[in-house]
Structure 1
Amino acid sequence: MSDITLTERAARRINEIMASEPDGSMLRISVNGGGCSGFQYAFDVDRTRQNDDLVVEKDGATVLVDEISIQYIEGSVIDFVDDLMGQSFKIENPHATASCGCGTSFAL
């Protein structure tokens, strides 16, 4: 099993977002080709847990990561930041060799 960590701030924000979604909704994080640096993170609301999903839970928040994306973000810390640049989920990925200013794109 992969060790993806969800911070308290991220769990709190996920719970806030899911409060206005249908019951059973979870945050799905996936990695897609593209973006400024080669790969980009995608954040979606999903109500369907696949058999091969990695499930990360903290303080009532649930994050799903598909089997293919796990290899790209394993060992990462998922946080939520609220600063002068705005609010966003931030993934501290130990595999990323470079990232873009947008915060959702990275290179391996």
Structure 2
Amino acid sequence: MNTLSMTENAAKRISELIVNEANDTSMLRVLVSSGGCSGFSYSFELESKINNDDQVFEQHGIKTVIDDISLDILGNSEIDFVEDLVGSAFKLNIPNATSSCGCGVSFAV
């Protein structure tokens, strides 16, 4: 079974974003779309709706929502939040990726 996990750093930052949004029912949605430099790209958004084809994972008090097709592509990936000299961003560590682009959000499987 495919899962989606999250680091404590990511959960902490998402919690801060949810508080700033003033909607405590918000969850993190992970989306995969075709395109990008390497074939697929991923994105994140906050929302409070769960669709029929969604899977919900909860870790560190944060719910993550992902549709079945995206989960098949991103299975067993880990969401992280990293901060460095260049800036800060959410990153997805994708074990199924055969290649990725320097942009950090485009990958191939």
TM-score (norm 2): 0.91
How many Å apart are 1:3 and its aligned residue?
Answer: 2.1
Unaligned ranges ≥5, structure 1: none
The amino acid that maps onto 1:81 is V
Find the counterpart in structure 1 of residue 45 from structure 2: 44
What do residues 26-65 of structure 1 show as CA deviations (whole Å, max 9, x unaligned)?
Answer: 1100100011111000111111012331212122211111
Asked whether the equivalents of residues 34 and 40 of structure 2 are also in contact (C-alpha less than 8 Å), the reply is yes
Cα distance in 2, alignment partners of residues 51 and 9 from structure 1:
29
Cα distance in 1, alignment partners of residues 84 and 8 from structure 2:
17
The amino acid that maps onto 1:12 is K
Cα distance in 2, alignment partners of residues 56 and 84 from structure 1:
31
Find the counterpart in structure 2 of residue 77 from structure 1: 78
Find the counterpart in structure 1 of residue 19 from structure 2: 19
Match of 1:77, SS?
Answer: strand
How many Å apart are 1:23 and its aligned residue?
Answer: 2.8
Find the counterpart in structure 2 of residue 3 from structure 1: 3
TM-score (norm 1): 0.92
Identity %, equivalent residues: 49
| Higher mean displacement: 16-25 or 29-38 | 16-25
Asked whether the equivalents of residues 6 and 56 of structure 1 are also in contact (C-alpha less than 8 Å), the reply is no
Unaligned ranges ≥5, structure 2: none
Match of 2:97, SS?
Answer: coil
Segments of 4+ moved more than 3 angstroms? none
Cα distance in 2, alignment partners of residues 68 and 75 from structure 1:
13
Cα distance in 2, alignment partners of residues 74 and 60 from structure 1:
21
Cα distance in 2, alignment partners of residues 75 and 58 from structure 1:
14
